[in-house]
């Protein structure tokens, strides 16, 4: 489902992800002050679970192209997603499960890769959603309804071509050039000989631009969606 405030093609989104009051010049402090974020407390302000405090103004979801969908019925509470998420997205619920806070998630897919339970976390195309509501709350209210909703999304996600992330541990090795029929063997991004319009991801476009510019070194942090830049670049035969 398209986002309700998405607007028409070419217009851009009219959505306001957050707003805050700017300080007047008399209240501004000298220099740049970055205050530490408090530790946090119980889940939703209660006594149980844990929810880290997060910045009120820096929301990471606005550039996300996929989001994790969690199967709370099969989760073993192993803690790996909570520990490995680079953005501290997971809130610990009162029943010891891990609820991905959708305002904080950038969609990097690390949680999906580290989860040891098959299909317990599945990255789903962001275009399927129109809110940042809690999946754990939805599951708690109606477990059968959540399962049906989740199954449709997960089945659909499996049919889509992924631009980044790896669905299970070891998938990079399976996709390597040596793996017959692997992704690298079947999808060779190409350098264009003439100008043409084609729908590709931003990371793929950067990788192709790097190849065309014949850059020798790319400096980037290989964890977030940027890892697609490397993955696509090495597939292009220079």
Are 61 and 104 in contact by the 8 Å Cβ rule? The answer is yes
User: How far apart are the C-alpha atoms of 85 and 215, rounded to whole Å?
Assistant: 31
What CA–CA distance (Å, rounded) separates 156 from 187? 21
Options 69, 92, 105, 229; binder of ligand SF4; rule CB under 6 A: 105
Tokens standing for 52?
């880290």
Which of these, 208, 214, 207, lies nearest to 228 by C-alpha position?
Answer: 207
Q: How far is the CB of 90 from ligand SF4 (least distance, A)?
A: 6
Tokens found for residue 214:
């014949």
Least distance (Å) from ligand SF4 to the CB of residue 120? Answer: 4
**69 contributes a contact to ligand SF4 by CB under 6 A:** no
| Interface segment toward ligand SF4; rule CB under 6 A; list 32-40, 77-85, 186-194, 212-220 | 77-85
In the chain, DSSP finds a helix count (H) and a strand count (E) of 8, 6
Q: What is the DSSP string of 209-223?
A: HHHHHT-S-----TT
Total residues at interface with ligand SF4 (CB under 6 A): 25
SS3 of residue 203 by DSSP: helix
Structure tokens at 27: 């209240």
- 157 contributes a contact to ligand SF4 by CB under 6 A: no
CB of 108 to ligand SF4, least distance (A): 4
- Looking at the Cβ atoms of 117 and 215, the one nearer to ligand SF4 is 117
Q: Does 85 bind ligand SF4 (CB under 6 A)?
A: yes
Which residues between 15 and 44 bind ligand SF4 (CB under 6 A)? none
| CB-based contact 100:45 (threshold 8 Å) | no
Q: How far is the CB of 144 from ligand SF4 (least distance, A)?
A: 20
Provide the minimum distance between the beta carbon of 171 and ligand SF4 in the complex, in angstroms, as a whole number: 16
Exactly one of 55, 73, 77, 143 binds ligand SF4 (CB under 6 A); that residue is 77
Of 65 and 208, nearer to ligand SF4 (C-beta) is 65
> Phi-psi bin for 206: left (phi > 0), alpha (psi -120 to 50), beta?
alpha
In the complex with ligand SF4, which residue's Cβ is closer, 60 or 235?
60
Q: How far apart are the first and last CA of the chain?
A: 39
Contact 3, 130 (CB under 8 A): yes
Region from 23-31, 100-108, 144-152, 211-219 binding ligand SF4, contact rule CB under 6 A: 100-108
78 in contact with ligand SF4 (CB under 6 A): yes
Cα distance between residue 221 and residue 17, in whole Å: 26
Looking at 51, 54, 69, 89, which residue binds ligand SF4 (CB under 6 A)? 89
Residues found near ligand SF4 in the complex (CB under 6 A): 68, 70, 75-81, 85, 87, 89, 98, 100, 105-111, 115, 117, 120-121
């Amino acid at each position: 489902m398209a986002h309700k405030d998405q607007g028409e093609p070419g217009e851009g989104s009219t959505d306001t992800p957050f707003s805050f009051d700017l300080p007047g010049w008399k209240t501004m402090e000298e220099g740049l002050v970055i205050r530490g974020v408090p530790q946090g407390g119980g889940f939703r302000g209660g006594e149980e679970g844990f929810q880290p405090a997060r910045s009120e103004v820096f929301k990471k979801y606005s550039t996300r192209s996929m989001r994790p969908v969690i199967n709370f019925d099969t989760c073993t509470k192993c803690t790996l997603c909570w520990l490995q998420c680079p953005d501290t997205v997971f809130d610990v619920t009162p029943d010891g499960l891990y609820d991905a806070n959708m305002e904080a998630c950038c969609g990097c897919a690390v949680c999906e890769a580290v989860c040891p339970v098959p299909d317990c976390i599945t990255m789903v195309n962001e275009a399927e959603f129109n809110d940042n509501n809690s999946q754990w709350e939805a599951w708690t209210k109606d477990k059968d309804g959540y399962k049906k909703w989740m199954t449709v999304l997960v089945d659909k996600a499996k049919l889509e071509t992924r631009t980044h992330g790896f669905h299970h541990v070891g998938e990079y090795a399976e996709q390597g050039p040596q793996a017959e029929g692997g992704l690298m063997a079947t999808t060779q991004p190409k350098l264009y000989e003439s100008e043409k319009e084609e729908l590709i991801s931003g990371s793929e476009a950067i990788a192709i631009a790097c190849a065309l510019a014949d850059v020798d070194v790319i400096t980037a942090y290989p964890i977030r969606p940027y890892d697609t830049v490397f993955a696509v670049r090495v597939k292009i035969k220079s």
